[in-house]
Amino acid sequence: MTGDTTTLKNIKIRVLIIHSLVEGRNLLKQSLTDCSDIEVVGTAPSGSIGLMKARDLKPDIIILDVEIPDIKASVFTKEILSIFPELGIILITSHEPKKIIINETITSLQNGAFDFIRRPYDMDETREWAVLQRRLLPKIRIFSIRRYSRMARIAAGKTEDFRNHTSIARNEERLSSSITSFKNYEKYDLVAIGVSTGGPEALSIILPALPSDFPIPIVIVLHMPQFFTQTMADELNKKSKLSVKEAQEGEILQAGNVYLARGGKHLILIGADPHAFMLHLDDGPEVNGCKPSVDVFFTSVIDAVKNKVIGIILTGMGEDGVKGIAGLKAKGAKTIAQDADTSIVWGMPGAAVREGVIDEVLPLHVIADRLKEITGCV
């Protein structure tokens, strides 16, 4: 047993770096060279060479420059994950990316990329690689833990591929055994969702499955920085029957609309009257290292909506949202968390489940159907 533990401890996370610039490849490699649990197994200057090297080297994680010139990052992501579905892709963009790069980043995330970071701005090389290391290491290590845990569950026959929409969404036996079935015995005024890593893909599955006559507004706090949330909202809007938009200051919530918190601002809900709610954008400090923060939004919902809310925590790293959803639960709100098997990272939902404040733990592809059932759309 001791020998097995030692062997596991000596396994290194294999990383392939794909970046169009020599300086970028060297900087990323330098940021990982002194990490004893990580091995940079190769670098590539283009997507086509990166694909060949990935097939040969079989890395655990690829760090991918979104601005690679020969293959769109979104196409690269889709193609490589069709070959190696357990591979992790961490995207890297410039500090203030152009619109076309933002679009590619969002599409790549929807196609299954694990997460992204922005390159630090206006720093000397030593400081820059230190910041890159600080931003990259948690994502690399969290993905590696998730990957090997998932592979172990698959080997034990305890999970299924969450990207297989049909097998999960139509599994009535699983649905009935996972939840306590009830119709719309209560009137709800709001669906409040908190999500982080894996969010673009998860939201791209849930929102398009909801009908245009969904009876209450949906507000989402996604951990995504400034410049990206408007494009994220636009992409979700294209795929959804509901109207999806980036939240605006002073906006009154309307049924059939989805509001995505703006990157770089906290989102606060204000109760105008018992069934009318207004959005406020707040420029306060980060909470749980996040801005927008799920906890900030959920806490504001407690006062504005009280128990007439369905609170949901989806895939994501960390514990942002746990305090807020606990407050919602204490007021009598309905609470739902995404399950471990279908979460890219079971950090936020897992922490909420362990806190004992979640009514139902559901697979990703069941959540939209459950929302329709609770709100009387079925």
Give the start-to-end residue ranges of the domains of the chain: 12-155, 185-374
Residue entry with tokens 């820059």? 128
Q: Using CA atoms, how far apart are residues 282 and 287, in angstroms rounded to an integer?
A: 12
Residue 157 has pLDDT above 80, yes or no: no
pTM of the model as a whole: 0.86
- The CATH architecture of the domain made up of 12-155 is 3-Layer(aba) Sandwich (3.40)
Q: How far is CA 167 from CA 36, 160, 239, in A?
A: 40, 9, 21
Give catalytic residues, as residue numbers: 196, 223, 320
Whether omega for the bond prior to residue 292 falls within 30 degrees of 0, making it cis, is yes
Of 96-100, 124-128, 179-183, 243-247, which has the strongest mean pLDDT?
243-247
Q: Are the C-beta atoms of residues 210 and 197 closer than 8 Å to each other?
A: no
Looking at the predicted structure, is the pLDDT value of residue 282 above 90? Answer: yes
Contact (Cβ atoms closer than 8 angstroms) between residue 312 and residue 191: yes
Q: How far is CA 88 from the centre of its chain?
A: 14
Lowest-pLDDT range of 46-60, 150-164, 290-304: 150-164
Task: Please tell me the distance from the alpha carbon of residue 290 to that of residue 81, in angstroms, as a whole number.
Answer: 29
- Residues 261/280, Cβ–Cβ less than 8 Å: no
Tens of pLDDT, residue by residue over 338-363, are 999 999 999 999 999 999 999 999 99
Q: Which CATH number fits domain 185-374: 3.20.20.220, 3.20.20.450, 3.40.50.180, 1.10.1740.10?
A: 3.40.50.180
Q: What is the DSSP string of 207-276?
A: GGGS-TT-SS-EEEEE---TTTHHHHHHHHHHH-SSEEEE--TTPBP-TTEEEEPPTTSEEEEEEEETTE
Q: How far apart are CA 293 and CA 125, in angstroms?
A: 31
Span 242-267, pLDDT tens digits: 999 999 999 999 999 999 999 999 99
